[in-house]
Structures are given as structure tokens and as C-alpha cells.
Structure 1
Amino acid sequence: MRPRRARLTVLVLALLAGTATSAQAADEMQRRMAACTTCHGREGLATNSGYFPRLAGKPAGYLYDQLRSFRDGRRQQADMNHLLAQLSDAYLREMAEYFAGLDLPYPSPTPSDLPAAELARGRALVVDGDAARGIPACVRCHGPALTGVQPGIPGLLGLPRLYIASQLGAWVTGDRRALAPDCMAEVGRRLKSEDIRAVAGWLAAQPVPVNYKAVPAYALPAGLPVACSAMEAHR
């Protein structure tokens, strides 16, 4: 057995470990989630310098949807597909609720090395969108603080630039998909490569606003601008 596959097998077995008694549940769950924190960092708190995204504090509905997408093949990443292949919906929901319940600080952002004009382009798309091309502003869906919206929309802060760019690119190419209505696939088809670079660069350089807690909002002020399974699946 290859060393990498052997390591993954050990992590799968850890995920499949039995449920602990109530007195041991917190410690046991943390131990079982070591399969996740091996890549995503301590307690799912990824840093802003790597590729892997933060899990801590994201909406449980969003995390659950992504775990199911990896298990069922709508998202492709070999390690994630292998780790989750044998897990039940109930177990995936338990995982999602564990990470959603973590209240941990965000890392300080890394200053961007992009030109000021490119960062301004990124900010404009995030804050205002581009109505002429049918691109809604990111804040219209991901919340005015960009920290996500319950129950199914993730925050966009505290994520590495490479990760943001790669995920936007995956929506463009169809390598990442969601259940219908797949709103990000619709938006992705309207993005150019320079849009992705600018948006990812600006978002990765932003701190969590000091007048907001780094938690998902409970509702959007004006509702969603487009139909999206991220919210409709949890009604």
C-alpha cells in the first residue's frame, strides 16, 4: 500500500470510530476530526498562508452541503472523496455542526502584492458587482460583512488567495458544481480570468471588520439576488 493511501486509510478509520459517551463527546469528537485538521489546521482554523480553507465557524448547512458534494462527486478532490466515501448523512451533519460551533479568531490578512488598480477592480466586483454582465455583488449573497449567511452561504474572509481563485476557477470550468439552482455556476460563467484574480486578491487582503463579529449573519437585508440551492435546500 502506498504511504499516502495508507495515511488516508488511517484517517478514514478515525472518522469511522464509534460515538463516545456524553461525558467524553467533546474530546472524542476533536480526536475523530483529526482526519480533517491534518490539512485544515488546528480545530479547522486554517491560516491565510496555505491553500486549505478555514472550517471553523462556517454555517453548518454549508459545511454539510460541501461534505455531501465531496462524497457524492459534485466536488472533486481525491483525498476528500476518499475520506468521505463511506460516511453517512448523519455523520456528515455531525462533522459540520462540530466545525460550525468553533469560535476561533481569524488570522491577520497578508498584504496584497497586486497593483492598486487591480485591487480596486476586485473591490468593485465584491461590493458593487457588474450589472451590465449580470454579476451580482459578492456582498449581496455572502453578507454585508462577507462573513457568510445562515444556514448555507460561506464567508469569504480569512481565506488564502490561491484557494479563492481556484474555487472561482472551478465554478467557471464546471469542475465544482452544486445542486440546482446552481447560482455560482451561473455567476462563474460570466467571470473573466482577470476578474477572478482581482476578486481573490482583494478578498484575501481584507480583515474581518471590527464592528462585526466573525460569524455568519442570520439573514440578508434584501434577500438573494438570484435563486440558489445554498439557501433553498435548507428551507
Structure 2
Amino acid sequence: MTRFIILILLCITSVANAIGGEVPDTMAERVKACTICHSAEDKVGRDAYYPRIAGKPQGYIFNQLRNFRDGRRYYQPMVVLLENMSDEYLREIAQYFSSLQLPYPDPERIQMQPEEIKLAQHLIYSGSPERNIPPCSACHGDILMGVEPAIPGLIGLSRAYITAQLGGWRSGSIMRSRTSDCMSEIAKQLTEREVNAVAKWLANQSVSGKPGSFNVLSPELVARCSRTILENGGAE
């Protein structure tokens, strides 16, 4: 609620500034309401639940903006911000944030037991075929920095955010849709222990490299996850 109030106050302040003096008509100015939560600063405490979007694949950002606007994802401040924006403008916003190359925070350095590390690495790089769980690296890239144009990286995110997202996929609270999606199907197969191990391990890794190319994805995964990774995949 506090974030929502601040967001509204910022919008009011922006209008007042526009009346009182000239404000540069730049995308950086236009997205200031976004950077209240999605700032370039290190995320600690409650702020860890707001992800970094700078440098993420443009298609991924666009898909999520459209999902919020169209009600497939729901978070009130996002809905209020986006409800009257066109696809064209959402693409401009996505392009702007995707182009930002800002420093990443240092890894979290979370203590892990050897068996936790082994479990996390197995799921991330080998998956669990008997449960129809592909390795994380199969979609998010060998170095887990994402795949252009629409799959996000997993490195550089906080443990709190990763845990919350996996929990949301498991409970079905992230995507409001009559049709299931691949991340929900996969996350529902994970145990609490597996979620915690994966979140810890990912949060402990240093950022290195850039998103990979779409052609590294197998046709099977593209078909399975088309609702998530293709530009029209979220449409019902």
C-alpha cells in the first residue's frame, strides 16, 4: 500500500512540475513511476520482492507489461499504470528498460549445505525427467542469463524474489488464465526443499554474460512454453 501511495504522489508531482516548469519529454522521465520499485539499486529487505528489469530481454518485458494490462497477471499498482497504454507504447517502455546496462548487485552469499548445492545444480542443469521437469538451463540459457527475445535471466535476482515467484507459479497466483502454462506446470512439481535450494543457489551466483539466442531452445520446449515465450503466447 505504501508503494501504491508513493506512486500516486509521484504522478501528482509530475503533473505539478509540468505546470510549473518544463520537464524533458524523455522515456527516462516517463518511467519514473516504474523506477520507484524497479530501481537500479541493490534490493534488500522488502524491496527484494521487486525485480530488476533493466537489461532483461525486450520481448519478456513487453509480454509481462501486456499481461498486467490485460489482466492475465494482477498487481494493483501495475494495473493502474498500464490499463490505458497501447501495445506500441508498451514496446517503447520494454525497449527502454531492455537497453539499460546497469551494474548488478553482488551475490547474496547464502550458506548452503553440500546436499542443497547438489540438489539445486541437478535441477538447474539436469532437471528431473521422470517428473517431466526440464533443466532450468534448457530455457533460461546455459549461463542462466536468459534467452532473447522473451525468456528472462535467473542470475542477479534475490533469493526472496525467486522464492516468491516459484511459490506464485506453484499456487497459480501469477497468471490468471484458463489454460495452464509451462512454468506453472513445472513449479507445481517442485517440493519446498527444492524451491529453497534452487533460490539459494541462484542468488549466490555472480552475473556473467548476456542473454542467449532463441535458436538454442529445443522445438519441444518452444511448443510447451509458447504461451510464455512467444509475443502472442499470453493471449487467450
TM-score (norm 2): 0.82
Could you tell me which of 180, 202, 213 is aligned with 1:218? 213
Could you tell me which of 172, 184, 197 is aligned with 2:170? 172
Change (3 A) 1:181 1:59: farther
Change (3 A) 1:139 1:186: same
Give the number of aligned pairs.
219
Unaligned runs of 5+ in 2: 19-23
Q: How does 1:1-235 map to 2 (within 5 A)?
A: 6-11=5-10, 28-41=26-39, 45-49=40-44, 50-177=48-175, 182-209=181-208, 213=209, 215-223=210-218, 225-226=220-221, 227-228=224-225, 229-233=227-231
Measured in 1, the distance between the counterparts of 2:97 and 2:217 equals 28
Query: For 2:228, what is the secondary structure of its paired residue?
Result: helix
Change (3 A) 1:4 1:154: closer
The 10-residue stretch of structure 1 (70-79 or 159-168) with the greater mean CA deviation from structure 2: 70-79
Query: For 2:214, what is the secondary structure of its paired residue?
Result: coil
Measured in 2, the distance between the counterparts of 1:135 and 1:39 equals 32
Deviation (angstroms), 1:205? 0.5
- Asked if the contact 1:151–1:234 (Cα under 8 Å) also holds between the matched residues in 2, the reply is no
Deviation (angstroms), 1:70? 1.4
Measured in 2, the distance between the counterparts of 1:204 and 1:80 equals 25
Measured in 2, the distance between the counterparts of 1:5 and 1:32 equals 17
Q: Say what the alpha-carbon RMSD is for the aligned residues.
A: 2.7
- Asked if the contact 1:171–1:184 (Cα under 8 Å) also holds between the matched residues in 2, the reply is yes
- Asked if the contact 2:69–2:83 (Cα under 8 Å) also holds between the matched residues in 1, the reply is yes
Measured in 1, the distance between the counterparts of 2:219 and 2:141 equals 10
**Which residue pairs with 2:21 in the alignment?**
none
Change (3 A) 1:170 1:3: closer
Measured in 2, the distance between the counterparts of 1:233 and 1:181 equals 17
Q: Identity, % of aligned pairs? A: 41
Instruction: Render the CA deviation track for 1:14-37: whole Å, top value 9, x for unaligned.
Output: 59xx9xxxxx66xx2111111111
Query: For 2:36, what is the secondary structure of its paired residue?
Result: helix
Query: For 1:147, what is the secondary structure of its paired residue?
Result: coil
Deviation (angstroms), 1:160? 0.6
Measured in 2, the distance between the counterparts of 1:5 and 1:203 equals 29
Instruction: Render the CA deviation track for 1:178-223: whole Å, top value 9, x for unaligned.
Output: 77672112212211111111111110111124xxx2x211234352
Measured in 2, the distance between the counterparts of 1:93 and 1:117 equals 43
- Asked if the contact 1:12–1:83 (Cα under 8 Å) also holds between the matched residues in 2, the reply is no
Unaligned runs of 5+ in 1: 19-23
Change (3 A) 1:73 1:217: same
- Runs of 4+ in structure 1 off by over 6 angstroms are none
Name the amino acid aligned to 1:34.
Answer: K
Change (3 A) 1:232 1:71: closer
The 10-residue stretch of structure 1 (141-150 or 225-234) with the greater mean CA deviation from structure 2: 225-234
TM-score (norm 1): 0.82
- Asked if the contact 2:7–2:36 (Cα under 8 Å) also holds between the matched residues in 1, the reply is no
Instruction: Render the CA deviation track for 1:98-122: whole Å, top value 9, x for unaligned.
Output: 0001112222101012323222211
